[in-house]
Structure 1
Amino acid sequence: MPIDIAKPPKRHTLAPAKQRILDTADKLFYDEGIRAVGIDRLISTSSVTKATFYKHYGSKDRLILDYIAYRHLQVAEVIDTAAQATDDPEELLRELARIQSRFIGTSGFRGCPFLNAATEFTDPAHPVRRAVEQHREWFHDILETLLRAMGHPLPGDAADDLVLARDGAMAGGYAGTRSPRRPR
């Protein structure tokens, strides 16, 4: 029986132009930064008109929130797939670490998209920061659930530590070197 964790949000079929804009934002915001990418660039790269962009998103702010939600959906689907493959919480926890390691090792890795977004929006009350916080709480809850199922005496504290370790791995994986260590 698979482990009971929060299911990913339902993936909705979007109009092709709306999906193209979101896919473009997903790539450009992650690769270059949210604030560095302007509306005109999103429109031209998406091959849509201004009217189409505004019809579907209304503003860059709404697109940014949809981008964060889209990134959350992608992570949630990967974790759900892993959770469906095992009923062993320890194995799932190990698989989550492997997933993160593979993500860090991908070509074009630029750090955690959620931490990157939080860095660009410094006001903790900003909707982007709240969306990032919700994602992080969701991930923490998954870790805590797994640790509790494993019988960890302090699952909440241990989940805090694992989230912090993940943050460090994501930041270090981007800022650090990818070359093998040289012997001393």
Structure 2
Amino acid sequence: MNINFTNFNIALGDTLLEPKHGDSEPFDVIVSNPPFSTKWEGKDNPLLINDERFAPAGVLAPSSKADFAFLLHGLSWLSPSGIMAIVMFPGVCYRGGAERQIRKYLIDNNFIDSVITLPPNLFFGNSISACIIVLKKNKPDTSVLFINGSEEYAKATNKNKLSPQNIDNLLKFYTQRAD
């Protein structure tokens, strides 16, 4: 998809407690880069478990790590034929407790299309690796594609970056869906 930046609509606020754009949803494309493992009200706010964005998972993301709260927020606003890509802390792929239950919900409902690992040291103020989780509500099959993109980077001063060739490689891996 080639979507011009002028078609993006960005609003300032607390996405989890006071979401914006409610009258514009559902969305066909959602791109999100939320803060990694930030705190939120979670179970300390008993009203959140009934929020239509979080309730389907049956459990709230931990108060100490809102990663899955951001993911569920986006997923709830995704159109039936839409696609969502969210940059996440890799811990969402293996942490236990409520996050394990949310992962199970996502897999059982066939929402996860792909998990793409990224190289470390890509983001300002953060040297850890990240991953992109791609979600769809209307997948043609139940497969989940895992792409190891940890070596897809170009060294740039003290930060790594994704070159146009690295991006093309990752996109090729994603579209070809080969083992």
Normalised by the length of structure 1, the TM-score is 0.30
Higher relative strand content: 2
Higher relative helix content: 1
**Structure number, greater radius of gyration:** 1
